Amino acid sequence: MTGRPRLLYLITEDWYFWSHRLDLARAARDAGFDVTIATRVTDHGKQIQEEGFHLVPIALFRRSRNPLRELRAIAELVGIYRQVRPHLVHHVAMKPILYGSLAAWVVRVPAILNAFAGLGYLFANSERQRGGLHWALTSALRSVIGWSGSTVLFQNEADRDELVRAGLVRSSHTRIIAGSGIDVMAFSVKPTPQGTPLVVLPSRMLWDKGIGEFVQAARDLKKKGADARFVLVGRCDEDNPAAIGREQLARWVGEGTVEWWGHRDDMAAVYEGATLVVLPSYREGLPKVLLEAAACGKAIVATDVPGCRDVVKDGINGVLVPPRDSSTLARGIANLLSDRQTREAMGVRSREIAVAEWAGPRISEQVLGLYHELLNASSVINRSPRYA
């Protein structure tokens, strides 16, 4: 391929791009790609443009199920792809994969990478998997992934294996790369502050993150006299079906069970002040908050589910507990709060693992290698660049 390859990222929210894919986009830009970000602009439009990326605002809403609005969203993407004429599109998460793959197939984009950042709301609950919406979603995924001839990127083996078993993807068309990486130098190991221990759950405020179980565990531990503060850190995400309302959060705060600090831009400082980091999620891809906590040298209590168990090695850098089990979660938290020596030894291992496995440049190098592989393959099969 001659000239600069055009790379387009399709991500529903600009804040998610900024927190989870910015370093990768920078690496692609520095490697010679002409980078476009198609996203719903709410928080970071100016910063994205200042990075030298092309920004294309879109009207795609994650929660919308209005058929006319969804058809307009697909038509909008077809128009964007025709205008940008990307050689490679990188779709992140469920709706971008569905709608972006369809648009890319219509426009005949040469190379398509569909990246699952976890399997999302419909796959985190067995009852949802038996519903009609799950059937419709999986049928649509199977179709658009097959039509588009895309490569499908996963963050852990369990997610890949589940979709292969379900017949949604072919194993030969999949790759696994452990998340999007983190800047390990932006997170440092500091001595845990003296005073009342701080137990932090960093996450969007979603039921599927196990926040209800965390609140119940905090309530039980406080009834038993635990001297600790329990803190939720993260934004409300009203567009997610599993969102926890502000009224519910206010009730928990009002009863004195937990504190809610909302969204924070200074997460390194939050982790530095934490005694223990907790994520009792029902399912993850590869949770960035745990990578960051590990880079800060924190012991972690997490659930024994895909994604979390890829970060937390039970008894090595943290403790794994069953999902949806507040009693066992409370015991795991209490045990580490009472054992400083074990907690600090786990923190040392967390930092070592983070540096060895999840440093941003290492992950970006793997993804850029995949980009070049897909571009070379698209040239070999003579698909580039012909647009409808």
pLDDT digits (tens, 9 = 90+) for 244-270: 999 999 999 999 999 999 999 999 999
Give residue 293's identity as a one-letter amino acid code: A
- Tell which wins on pLDDT, 141 or 263: 263
Residue with tokens 């997170």: 187
Q: Which CATH superfamily is domain 184-357 in?
A: Glycogen Phosphorylase B; (3.40.50.2000)
Residue 383 above 50 pLDDT? no
Distance CA 186, CA 180 (A): 15
| 140, 120 contact by CB (below 8 A) | no
In this prediction the pTM is 0.89
Mean pLDDT across 17-27: 95
- Tell which wins on pLDDT, 80 or 135: 80
Residue 51 above 80 pLDDT? yes
Handedness of CA 384, 363, 38, 90 (dihedral sign): positive
Mean pLDDT across 218-226: 97
Q: 63: pLDDT confidence band, cut at 50, 70 and 90? A: low
Position 345 scores a pLDDT of 97
Position 66 scores a pLDDT of 72
Q: Which CATH superfamily is domain 6-181+359-380 in?
A: Glycogen Phosphorylase B; (3.40.50.2000)
Residue 130 above 90 pLDDT? no
Distance CA 191, CA 87 (A): 48
Residue with tokens 């290698």: 369
DSSP states of 88-146 as a string? Answer: EEEEESHHHHHHHHHHHHHHT-SEEEEE-SS--GGGS-HHHHTSHHHHHHHHHHHHHHH
Q: 121: pLDDT confidence band, cut at 50, 70 and 90? A: low
Distance CA 277, CA 192 (A): 12
Q: In what order do the strands lie in the sheet with 174-176?
A: 54-57, 34-40, 6-13, 88-92, 111-115, 151-154, 174-176
Helix axes 326-337, 211-223, angle to 10 degrees: 60
Q: 380: pLDDT confidence band, cut at 50, 70 and 90? A: very low
Mean pLDDT across 111-138: 73
Distance CA 285, CA 311 (A): 10
Q: 125: pLDDT confidence band, cut at 50, 70 and 90? A: low
- Return residue ranges of the chain for CATH 3.40.50.2000: 6-181+359-380, 184-357
Position 138 scores a pLDDT of 85
Task: Give residue-wise pLDDT tens across range 74-93.
Answer: 999 999 999 999 999 999 99
DSSP 207: G
Q: Which two tokens stand for residue 170?
A: 């072919």
Give residue 228's identity as a one-letter amino acid code: A
Nearest to 239 by CA among 38, 60, 34, 41: 60
Mean pLDDT, all residues of the chain: 91
Distances (CA, A) of 216 to 201, 202, 278: 13, 16, 13
Mean pLDDT across 212-237: 97
Q: Which two tokens stand for residue 12?
A: 């529903």
| 205, 211 contact by CB (below 8 A) | yes
Residue with tokens 């850029």: 368
